[in-house]
Amino acid sequence: MIKINGSPISAPEALTLGFRLVLQPDLRVFILVPLLINLVLFFILTAWLLHEFGLLMDGLMGWLPGWLSFLGSILWLIAAFLLIFVYGYSFSIISNLIAAPFNGFLAERIEVKLTGVAPPPEPLSAMIPRTLARELLKLWYFISRGLLLMIGLLVLSFIPILQLLTPLIAALWGAWCMAIQYTDYPADNHKTPFKQLRGQLMDQSMGSFSLGGLIMLGSMIPLVNIFVTPIAVAGATVFWLRDINGRPLNPEALLPLKR
Protein backbone atom coordinates (compact mmCIF):
# COMPACT_ATOMS: atom_id res chain seq x y z
CA MET A 1 0.00 0.00 0.00
CA ILE A 2 1.27 3.47 -0.92
CA LYS A 3 1.40 5.82 2.04
CA ILE A 4 0.53 9.45 1.42
CA ASN A 5 2.89 11.16 3.83
CA GLY A 6 4.84 14.37 3.94
CA SER A 7 3.81 17.88 3.06
CA PRO A 8 3.55 19.14 -0.53
CA ILE A 9 4.56 22.58 0.77
CA SER A 10 7.99 21.31 1.82
CA ALA A 11 9.10 20.92 -1.82
CA PRO A 12 8.56 24.56 -2.89
CA GLU A 13 10.29 25.66 0.31
CA ALA A 14 13.25 23.37 -0.40
CA LEU A 15 13.58 24.55 -4.01
CA THR A 16 13.33 28.21 -2.96
CA LEU A 17 16.10 27.69 -0.44
CA GLY A 18 18.09 25.80 -3.07
CA PHE A 19 17.75 28.70 -5.51
CA ARG A 20 19.09 31.13 -2.91
CA LEU A 21 21.93 28.80 -2.01
CA VAL A 22 23.28 28.41 -5.55
CA LEU A 23 23.46 32.20 -5.87
CA GLN A 24 25.99 32.43 -3.07
CA PRO A 25 29.53 33.23 -4.33
CA ASP A 26 31.24 30.13 -2.93
CA LEU A 27 28.80 27.81 -4.73
CA ARG A 28 28.66 29.48 -8.15
CA VAL A 29 31.76 27.69 -9.38
CA PHE A 30 30.00 24.33 -8.96
CA ILE A 31 27.18 25.28 -11.31
CA LEU A 32 29.31 26.65 -14.17
CA VAL A 33 30.09 23.32 -15.88
CA PRO A 34 26.52 21.94 -15.61
CA LEU A 35 25.26 25.27 -16.94
CA LEU A 36 27.51 25.04 -20.03
CA ILE A 37 26.36 21.44 -20.58
CA ASN A 38 22.74 22.54 -20.36
CA LEU A 39 23.32 25.32 -22.89
CA VAL A 40 24.63 22.85 -25.46
CA LEU A 41 21.80 20.41 -24.76
CA PHE A 42 19.25 23.19 -24.96
CA PHE A 43 20.16 24.09 -28.54
CA ILE A 44 20.40 20.45 -29.66
CA LEU A 45 17.16 19.24 -28.05
CA THR A 46 15.18 22.36 -28.95
CA ALA A 47 16.15 21.98 -32.62
CA TRP A 48 15.16 18.30 -32.41
CA LEU A 49 11.81 19.18 -30.80
CA LEU A 50 10.88 21.69 -33.49
CA HIS A 51 11.91 19.29 -36.27
CA GLU A 52 10.01 16.31 -34.82
CA PHE A 53 6.93 18.39 -34.07
CA GLY A 54 6.76 19.54 -37.68
CA LEU A 55 7.10 15.97 -38.97
CA LEU A 56 4.53 14.66 -36.49
CA MET A 57 1.94 17.28 -37.38
CA ASP A 58 2.47 16.77 -41.12
CA GLY A 59 1.91 13.05 -40.64
CA LEU A 60 -1.20 13.53 -38.49
CA MET A 61 -2.75 16.05 -40.85
CA GLY A 62 -2.06 13.79 -43.83
CA TRP A 63 -3.65 10.81 -42.04
CA LEU A 64 -6.72 12.72 -40.82
CA PRO A 65 -9.70 12.54 -43.23
CA GLY A 66 -11.02 15.84 -44.51
CA TRP A 67 -14.33 15.54 -42.70
CA LEU A 68 -12.41 15.26 -39.38
CA SER A 69 -10.25 18.30 -40.00
CA PHE A 70 -11.90 20.05 -37.06
CA LEU A 71 -9.93 17.66 -34.81
CA GLY A 72 -6.66 19.17 -36.05
CA SER A 73 -6.40 21.68 -33.21
CA ILE A 74 -7.05 18.96 -30.60
CA LEU A 75 -4.38 16.70 -32.12
CA TRP A 76 -2.02 19.66 -32.20
CA LEU A 77 -2.45 20.21 -28.45
CA ILE A 78 -2.02 16.51 -27.65
CA ALA A 79 1.09 16.20 -29.83
CA ALA A 80 2.57 19.38 -28.35
CA PHE A 81 2.02 18.13 -24.78
CA LEU A 82 3.59 14.73 -25.49
CA LEU A 83 6.65 16.20 -27.22
CA ILE A 84 7.20 18.82 -24.52
CA PHE A 85 6.91 16.09 -21.88
CA VAL A 86 9.51 13.96 -23.69
CA TYR A 87 11.65 17.06 -24.23
CA GLY A 88 11.73 17.95 -20.54
CA TYR A 89 12.28 14.36 -19.46
CA SER A 90 15.10 13.80 -21.97
CA PHE A 91 16.75 17.12 -21.15
CA SER A 92 16.95 16.32 -17.46
CA ILE A 93 18.12 12.70 -17.86
CA ILE A 94 20.86 13.45 -20.42
CA SER A 95 22.21 16.54 -18.66
CA ASN A 96 22.40 14.74 -15.33
CA LEU A 97 24.11 11.71 -16.84
CA ILE A 98 26.88 13.97 -18.17
CA ALA A 99 27.12 16.27 -15.15
CA ALA A 100 26.71 13.63 -12.41
CA PRO A 101 30.12 14.19 -10.71
CA PHE A 102 29.60 17.98 -10.63
CA ASN A 103 26.10 17.55 -9.19
CA GLY A 104 27.52 15.29 -6.49
CA PHE A 105 30.09 17.95 -5.57
CA LEU A 106 27.36 20.61 -5.41
CA ALA A 107 25.18 18.43 -3.15
CA GLU A 108 28.17 17.85 -0.88
CA ARG A 109 29.01 21.54 -0.55
CA ILE A 110 25.41 22.43 0.19
CA GLU A 111 25.25 19.75 2.88
CA VAL A 112 28.39 21.14 4.51
CA LYS A 113 26.95 24.66 4.39
CA LEU A 114 23.62 23.63 5.91
CA THR A 115 24.76 21.07 8.50
CA GLY A 116 28.44 21.82 9.09
CA VAL A 117 29.22 18.14 8.48
CA ALA A 118 30.59 16.68 5.25
CA PRO A 119 29.66 13.26 3.84
CA PRO A 120 32.30 10.52 4.27
CA PRO A 121 35.41 11.39 2.20
CA GLU A 122 36.11 9.50 -1.00
CA PRO A 123 38.98 9.72 -3.52
CA LEU A 124 38.09 11.38 -6.81
CA SER A 125 39.34 8.34 -8.72
CA ALA A 126 36.75 6.19 -6.94
CA MET A 127 33.94 8.76 -6.81
CA ILE A 128 33.68 9.54 -10.54
CA PRO A 129 33.22 5.96 -11.83
CA ARG A 130 30.90 5.16 -8.92
CA THR A 131 28.63 8.15 -9.61
CA LEU A 132 28.51 7.34 -13.32
CA ALA A 133 27.60 3.74 -12.50
CA ARG A 134 24.86 5.04 -10.20
CA GLU A 135 23.50 7.20 -13.03
CA LEU A 136 23.35 4.16 -15.28
CA LEU A 137 21.53 2.23 -12.54
CA LYS A 138 18.94 5.00 -12.30
CA LEU A 139 18.66 5.15 -16.08
CA TRP A 140 17.97 1.40 -16.21
CA TYR A 141 15.31 1.80 -13.54
CA PHE A 142 13.66 4.64 -15.47
CA ILE A 143 13.74 2.78 -18.81
CA SER A 144 12.64 -0.65 -17.55
CA ARG A 145 9.78 0.65 -15.41
CA GLY A 146 8.94 3.26 -18.01
CA LEU A 147 8.48 0.65 -20.74
CA LEU A 148 6.14 -1.37 -18.52
CA LEU A 149 4.21 1.79 -17.70
CA MET A 150 4.00 2.69 -21.39
CA ILE A 151 2.47 -0.69 -22.19
CA GLY A 152 -0.04 -0.25 -19.37
CA LEU A 153 -0.96 3.25 -20.56
CA LEU A 154 -1.37 1.99 -24.11
CA VAL A 155 -3.88 -0.61 -22.90
CA LEU A 156 -5.59 1.98 -20.71
CA SER A 157 -5.95 4.39 -23.63
CA PHE A 158 -8.42 1.98 -25.28
CA ILE A 159 -10.72 1.91 -22.24
CA PRO A 160 -13.38 4.68 -22.29
CA ILE A 161 -13.30 7.15 -19.39
CA LEU A 162 -10.24 5.46 -17.86
CA GLN A 163 -8.22 6.70 -20.84
CA LEU A 164 -8.56 10.20 -19.36
CA LEU A 165 -6.25 9.08 -16.55
CA THR A 166 -3.30 8.39 -18.86
CA PRO A 167 -1.86 11.96 -18.85
CA LEU A 168 -2.15 12.10 -15.04
CA ILE A 169 -0.39 8.74 -14.59
CA ALA A 170 2.34 9.78 -17.04
CA ALA A 171 2.83 13.07 -15.17
CA LEU A 172 3.06 11.28 -11.81
CA TRP A 173 5.66 8.88 -13.21
CA GLY A 174 7.70 11.78 -14.54
CA ALA A 175 7.52 13.55 -11.16
CA TRP A 176 8.60 10.36 -9.37
CA CYS A 177 11.60 9.98 -11.70
CA MET A 178 12.67 13.58 -11.12
CA ALA A 179 12.43 13.17 -7.35
CA ILE A 180 14.64 10.08 -7.53
CA GLN A 181 17.07 11.68 -9.96
CA TYR A 182 17.90 14.69 -7.79
CA THR A 183 17.61 13.38 -4.23
CA ASP A 184 19.97 10.61 -5.28
CA TYR A 185 22.92 13.02 -5.35
CA PRO A 186 23.02 13.67 -1.57
CA ALA A 187 21.90 10.08 -0.92
CA ASP A 188 24.71 8.69 -3.08
CA ASN A 189 27.24 10.89 -1.29
CA HIS A 190 26.35 8.82 1.78
CA LYS A 191 26.28 5.59 -0.28
CA THR A 192 22.60 5.08 0.50
CA PRO A 193 21.40 2.01 -1.46
CA PHE A 194 19.19 2.92 -4.40
CA LYS A 195 16.32 0.73 -3.17
CA GLN A 196 16.48 2.32 0.27
CA LEU A 197 16.28 5.82 -1.26
CA ARG A 198 13.13 4.86 -3.18
CA GLY A 199 11.56 3.63 0.05
CA GLN A 200 12.48 6.88 1.83
CA LEU A 201 10.91 8.93 -0.95
CA MET A 202 7.73 6.87 -0.83
CA ASP A 203 7.53 7.46 2.91
CA GLN A 204 7.44 11.18 2.06
CA SER A 205 5.28 10.67 -1.03
CA MET A 206 3.44 14.02 -1.04
CA GLY A 207 6.65 15.99 -0.70
CA SER A 208 8.46 13.73 -3.18
CA PHE A 209 5.85 14.03 -5.93
CA SER A 210 5.60 17.77 -5.32
CA LEU A 211 9.39 18.16 -5.57
CA GLY A 212 9.65 16.04 -8.71
CA GLY A 213 6.64 17.71 -10.32
CA LEU A 214 8.07 21.20 -9.89
CA ILE A 215 11.45 20.11 -11.26
CA MET A 216 9.77 18.40 -14.23
CA LEU A 217 7.71 21.52 -14.93
CA GLY A 218 10.84 23.65 -14.98
CA SER A 219 12.58 21.14 -17.26
CA MET A 220 9.74 21.43 -19.79
CA ILE A 221 10.08 25.21 -20.19
CA PRO A 222 12.70 26.30 -22.77
CA LEU A 223 15.41 28.63 -21.41
CA VAL A 224 14.22 27.99 -17.83
CA ASN A 225 15.43 24.39 -18.12
CA ILE A 226 19.01 25.62 -18.58
CA PHE A 227 19.06 26.73 -14.94
CA VAL A 228 16.94 23.95 -13.45
CA THR A 229 19.70 21.40 -12.72
CA PRO A 230 21.73 23.27 -10.05
CA ILE A 231 18.58 24.61 -8.37
CA ALA A 232 17.06 21.12 -8.38
CA VAL A 233 20.23 19.56 -6.92
CA ALA A 234 20.34 22.18 -4.17
CA GLY A 235 16.61 21.96 -3.41
CA ALA A 236 16.64 18.15 -3.42
CA THR A 237 19.61 18.19 -1.03
CA VAL A 238 17.63 20.39 1.35
CA PHE A 239 14.65 18.04 1.01
CA TRP A 240 16.79 14.94 1.61
CA LEU A 241 18.48 16.41 4.68
CA ARG A 242 15.46 18.05 6.30
CA ASP A 243 12.39 16.07 5.26
CA ILE A 244 13.73 12.57 4.64
CA ASN A 245 16.45 12.35 7.29
CA GLY A 246 15.16 14.92 9.77
CA ARG A 247 18.52 16.65 10.10
CA PRO A 248 18.40 20.21 11.50
CA LEU A 249 19.78 22.91 9.23
CA ASN A 250 22.43 25.30 10.49
CA PRO A 251 20.70 28.64 11.34
CA GLU A 252 23.90 30.57 10.65
CA ALA A 253 23.95 29.25 7.08
CA LEU A 254 20.38 30.41 6.55
CA LEU A 255 20.76 33.92 7.93
CA PRO A 256 22.33 35.45 4.78
CA LEU A 257 19.46 34.00 2.74
CA LYS A 258 16.82 35.93 4.69
CA ARG A 259 18.26 39.39 4.17
Q: How confident is the model at residue 119 (pLDDT cuts 50, 70, 90)?
A: confident
Q: What is the pLDDT of residues 54-95, one digit of tens each?
A: 666 666 556 655 555 555 556 556 666 666 666 666 666 666
pLDDT of amino acid 39: 72
pLDDT of amino acid 201: 96
Q: Where are the domains of the chain?
A: 15-40+87-258
Q: What is the pLDDT of residues 161-203, one digit of tens each?
A: 777 788 888 889 989 999 999 999 999 999 999 999 999 999 9
Determine what percent of the chain falls in helix, strand and coil, rounding each to the nearest 5. 85, 0, 15
The answer to whether the beta carbons of residues 229 and 103 sit under 8 Å apart is yes
CB pairs under 8 A, 24+ apart, for 126-133? Answer: 127/101, 128/101, 130/188, 131/100, 131/101, 131/104, 131/188, 132/97, 132/100, 132/101
pTM of the complete model beyond 0.85:
no
Greater confidence, 207 or 84? 207
The answer to whether the beta carbons of residues 192 and 242 sit under 8 Å apart is no
What angle is formed at CA 248 by the lines to CA 246 and CA 253, rounded to 5 degrees? 140
Greater confidence, 94 or 235? 235
47 contacts: CB under 8 Å, gap ≥ 6: none
Dihedral Cα 149, 206, 219, 139, nearest 10 deg? -40
